[in-house]
A and B are shown apart, each in its own frame.
Chain A
Amino acid sequence: MSERKTIDARGSFCPGPLMELIAGIKLAEVGEELEILSGDRGSAEDIPAWIAKVGHEYIKTDKIDDYWSIIVKKTK
């Protein structure tokens, strides 16, 4: 399995964590896992919602100190 890539979008007010994830997923290979770090609660909810809409695989969300780590697998 390829190494999991982390996108650190903490402190990103614009374009923000979800937009960074969308850009990151476009560059990833099918089967690759991505971890996105986000400092805002809104994205921690929006990101799993978007993953479900598009049909990638949502792996998990962890709350760590003052930020969230969300892991996604690109499936198509």
Chain B
Amino acid sequence: MSKKILVVGGGLAGTIVANGLCRHIGKELRNGKAQITMLGTSEQHLYQPALLFVPFGLAGEEDLFRNQRKLLNRYITYHVDPAKHIDAENKKVTTESGKVLDYDYLILATGSRIMPQTIPGMEEGALWFYDLDGARKMRTALQAFKGGKIIINVNAPHKCPVAPLEITFMLYDYLTKRGLIDKTEITYTYPIGRLHALEPVAHWCKPEMDKKGIKYETFFNAESVDPAKKTITSMEGITLDYDMLITIPPHSGMDVVDNSNLGKGGWATTDPKSLLHTEHDSIFVIGDTTNIPISKAGSTAHFETEVVIANITSMIQEGCWSRYYDGKVFCFVETGMDEGTYVWFDYENPPNPGPPSQMIHWLKLTYNRLYWLSARGLL
């Protein structure tokens, strides 16, 4: 009997896992012993990290998009038809168009999304770069900016823990180059009691911000925005006024997770080591949509795909389990327009960033290009 693998979500994790599986179970796919189907929402694949560069006019269509079908191995059947409901008991998925697909292994990789609408006034009063429309609006607003108070407001939970810092330092460089930095006050707000979730990154960035005159406010979780008065108020009772509010809105996962009773807030309950859904052993969960308490980042998703590829391959070929996820995360951190650093850590080993250098900045830029190879399963 052919083993049916169904990948729900054609973003970073879904694409890497599906292409990676094709390389490992190529023989089974050719002789009909296995088949891979993917459900997605679009013909286009968006490379989200490039959104960081859009507000500064440094990323265009070529950096952001590829045709999803062209990225996928020819053995993958791709449907632009989102999953509406997952019936985990009977191993069936119903799509938006009404198709019903059954599976032996389901890989849930529906990612996360920004929810500015959950904070009163935020949609009207704030700018963001976490989706393409937002990043383009922010570019327009920055081009018209003549100086004033900018607040960079970070909310929990959010994906890509380094992007808030990167945007802050890149914005500083951008305003310096435009000769506006002396007319601008930047304030960075962060949900917890230090400037970054990663302790060594927090230690490193505090003096960097002090040196640059960037102000900060910790223990700040947005409760409401008043677009008319141009103020933002935190749950902790602090109100700040702004001329430009840039936010990293709180995130949630996708409705299909809650609608299928697989988790809450779109976060699917996932075993941190096996990456199986805690109640269903034919469902693997990877990428942003897990409820594992680690960074929601492309690199997390990438390391998780390696574990899922190994385990599905091993189960199909040898009927046994292969390996567990150790919580590995690796992140590049852009520390300005021309410099970068990196950090890595796992469940056991705390993070330790290296000193910033221009080489790491170039490596990150190179990775932005290499991503498309990585998504094809070639890296």
Binding site for B on A (CB under 8 A): 7-9, 11-20, 22-23, 26-27, 42, 46, 49-50, 53-54
Contacts and interface: CB of A to CB of B under 8 A. Distances in A.
B98 interface: no
Interface stretch (B36-44, B74-82, B189-197, B204-212): B189-197
B237 interface: yes
A50 B161 contact: no
27 contacts: A9-B293, A11-B272, A11-B348, A12-B293, A13-B199, A14-B161, A14-B197, A14-B198, A14-B351, A15-B157, A16-B192, A17-B293, A18-B192, A20-B157, A20-B293, A23-B157, A23-B250, A23-B265, A26-B156, A26-B250, A26-B265, A27-B265, A42-B199, A49-B193, A50-B193, A53-B236, A54-B235
B168 interface: no
Interface of B: 118, 156-157, 161, 191-193, 197-199, 219, 221, 235-237, 250, 264-265, 272, 293-295, 327, 329, 345, 347-348, 350-351
B350 A13 contact: yes
B236 A19 contact: no
A-side binding surface: helix, strand, loop or mixed? Answer: helix
A49 B345 CA distance: 27
A19 B250 CA distance: 11
A20 B161 CA distance: 13
A13 B156 contact: no
B287 to A, nearest CB: 15
Nearest to A22: B156
A18 B157 CA distance: 11
Contacts of B293: 7-9, 11-12, 15-17, 20
Nearest to A46: B193
A17 B156 CA distance: 12
Nearest to B115: A26
Contacts of B221: 22, 54
A19 B359 CA distance: 32
B235 A19 contact: no
Contacts of A46: 192-193
Contacts of B157: 15, 19-20, 22-23
A49 B218 CA distance: 12
Contacts of B265: 23, 26-27
B318 to A, nearest CB: 30
Contacts of A19: 156-157, 191-192, 197
Contacts of A42: 199
Nearest to B250: A26
A27 B348 CA distance: 28
Given A15-B293, A23-B156, 5 more contacts: A12-B294, A15-B294, A46-B193, A50-B236, A53-B236
